[in-house]
Structure 1
């Protein structure tokens, strides 16, 4: 169902984008990078976060780590990762396939400024063996994302 909801989302809003069904596991940044032939930094990972009762997604480059101080400033308080059990219920996507497309319910989406380092990134597409390639700007446009700076500085060597 999750892969199908992403396909339906893209068919409606971006019919020019194709979901890549790899037939191989792409659930981690390392797995996705190896299967897709991309550096890990270009894998766009989607973090499922909560601040109080508010649940939202933040899409970041694959080698980025959340900076708690920056996140607190950007989101107006302490954020925490969703429990694994909560993720699929709230997003409709299994852990390892979470993306900002075809969500089970509307969630606010943010894109970290770190994504702007690339002309193309590859987020998951709703399953643990799928992805889609698109520009970070297109990703933000399709999801109505707000740009934020919430990740630790990247030591540039493997872009």
Structure 2
């Protein structure tokens, strides 16, 4: 278990970068760590689609950091076609090296390693002007920020279409 000081290093990095920007955002600290997307929904009182979950995968040189909506999942075939590599989840040591965070607390904001490249799934384009909530760098903190601003503050390399599940749910809601 990390000490409180070590836990706060990533959160401090995130907050320091956000304070330098002109973006509107909010920081929410919860009484306990988030266990899952469903748990995050309950603690933050938001629907799954407004959770901007961050996943990290090995890349030939570095890591691919993918941000997608909480109601979407990665489609392996789409991922492999987009990045031309198999989807391999980073182990805890590599995750810490590329993101400065442990599993369950990865924030895509203020990544310490330049070889970690951020991409956002199109499932988040629904919320260009609405808050989505991504990790604040600790297991119990979340940053609310518009997808448009999240794209910019993470120095996102581009939008990707590798998520599945969310389009069907959106179509069902429209019927």
Common topology (TM > 0.5): yes
Aligned positions of 1:1-159 closer than 5 A:
1-14=9-22, 16-106=24-114, 107-118=116-127, 119-145=130-156, 146-154=158-166, 155-156=168-169
Name which of structure 1's ranges 47-56 and 2-11 shifts more when overlaid on structure 2: 47-56
Which structure has the greater CA radius of gyration?
A: 2
- Structure 2 gaps, min length 5: 1-8
Unaligned runs of 5+ in 1: none
Partner secondary structure for residue 38 of structure 1: coil
Aligned length: 159
Deviation at 1:108, TM superposition (A): 1.1
What is the root-mean-square deviation in Å for CA atoms of aligned residues?
A: 1.9
TM-score, length basis structure 2:
0.82
Q: Compute the TM-score of the two structures, normalised by the length of structure 1.
A: 0.89
Higher helix share: 2
